[in-house]
Structure 1
Amino acid sequence: MPRALIVIDMQRGFDDLEHWGPTANPDCEANVGALVSSWERAGEPIVVVRHDSPSPSSPLHAGAPGNALVEVVAAVEPALFVTKSVNSAFYGDPDLHAWLQREGVSELVVCGIQTNMCVETTARMAGNLGYDVTVVLDATRTFDLSTDVAGLGTVARTAAELMAATALVLQAGGFARIATTRQVARA
């Protein structure tokens, strides 16, 4: 069965650190590029997912310049292009799950932005749907996060802490294996 590379939300709007805050893993885009190149050389399917925020003030709004894909992903001719307005790529258009089933794809390799949001949500759903899922952690990135939580007060985590927590939860929870670009990309 073929495997597919799922590239999530690699959009220019995530470079707006005034909006998102401090980030981790500056090598994310280069690592996504290495994965894309590996998949193109192998002739394996690549699925590109773009987040179209319904909020007019979001850098990812469909009318905003930040909605555009980063260069390394914009150059890809994907087997499937999915747009979504929620965290999971499985709730996008066209239907990712239906396409994967039609194509006989059972193994997914997931990368992109944000590690603990859209990447994690998509990986969890994929695992629950029965796919063999690998998340390439060094081909993801996220941002520092802080919010008030009932019963806990203000909870804050750095982007690096969030990436580590996502890796722990996905792998220990049986949703996905965690790997590096070097482990996954074909030479």
Structure 2
Amino acid sequence: MNRALRALIVIDVQESFRVRPLWAQTLNPGVAEPVNRLVSLARAAGDLVVWVLHTEPGSGTPFDPESGHVRLLEELNEPLPGEPVLRKTSHNAFTTTNLQQILTTHGVTELRVCGIRAEQCVETTTRVGSDLGYDMTFVGDATSTDPLGPFSAADILERTEAVLRDRFARIATVAELEAEAGRTPGAAAEVAASAT
């Protein structure tokens, strides 16, 4: 088994959100593009990629597996063999899955997180991961959310980054991570696209 010190956790980037009326107001309807760039960057570095889907069995909602919508957005890169696809029923990606066991088996100590519902599942996973001792990076521009009450989606993302910054996680952009890896921003996604 390959050991990776770092993992990318892609949280709830799934069709369940796109079929809801709120999708028209989502902060980043093109979230699949920056997520694909992160996935390509992770694969090029030999990092583990873990895909997480939120499920609510028996709810009759788009998150009910019976709805047929609990699947990755069609624009996303397909998971490769060996990349776990987990299904959770809690807000964070740890409590109702074997994520921590997978990370321990792979020797992972650092996590990058992105996904849908910045202030809910992505933030909660970031906080739990930090409490478990992982070095966390929250990638804001590969994350989306919806308006909530009087707050715009952009306000919610800004607030989420503010409360996580330097307490629970480093805040980074996809371009910053690409630059750190010595890649031109967007180059990882271009290489992946040309390989398909």
Instruction: Give the gaps of 5 or more residues in structure 2.
Output: 184-196
The answer to whether the 8 A contact 1:5-1:108 is kept is yes
The structure 1 residue matched to 2:37, chosen from 30, 34, 37, is 34
1:181 alignment partner AA: V
Q: Does 1:92 align with 2:118?
A: no
TM-score (structure 1 length as normaliser): 0.87
Code of the aligned partner of 2:50: V
1:98-117 equivalences in 2 (<5 Å): 98-117=101-120
Q: What is the alpha-carbon root mean square deviation over aligned residues? A: 1.8
Identical-residue share of aligned pairs (%):
38
Aligned partner of 1:124 in structure 2 is 127
C-alpha change, 1:65 and 1:117, in structure 2 (3 Å) is: same
Is 1:52 aligned to 2:50, yes or no? no
Aligned-residue offset at 1:74: 5.8
Give a deviation string over 1:70-115, Cα, whole Å, max 9, x none.
Answer: 124461225322110110000133x111221221100000011111
Quickly say closer, same or farther: Cα 1:19–1:54, change in 2 above 3 A.
farther
Number of aligned positions between the proteins: 176
Give the secondary-structure state (helix, strand or coil) at the position aligned to 2:87: strand
Relative to structure 2, which stretch is displaced further, 105-114 or 18-27? Answer: 18-27
CA distance in 1, matches of 2:68, 2:83: 24
1:139–1:16 CA distance, 2 compared to 1 (3 A): same
8 Å Cα contact 1:82-1:92 kept in structure 2? no
Gaps of 5+ in 1: 147-155
| Contact 1:22/1:143 (8 A) holds in 2 | yes
In the TM superposition, residue 41 of structure 1 has moved relative to its aligned partner by 2.1
Q: Which residue of structure 2 lines up, in the alignment, with residue 134 of structure 1? A: 137
Contact 1:27–1:138 under 8 Å retained in 2: no
Q: Is it true that 1:166 corresponds to 2:169 in the alignment?
A: no
Deviation readout 1:40-70 (Å, 9 max, x if unpaired): 2222210110111235332121111321111
Distance 1:55-1:22 versus aligned 2 partners, 3 A rule: farther
1:145 is the counterpart of 2:148: yes
Contact 1:27–1:139 (8 Å) recurs in 2:
no
Q: Distance in 1 between matches of 2:63 and 2:73?
A: 12
Farther-moved stretch of structure 1 (47-56 vs 27-36): 47-56
- Return the structure number with greater strand share: 1
Query: Counterpart of 1:83?
Result: 87
Q: Secondary structure of 1:56's partner?
A: coil
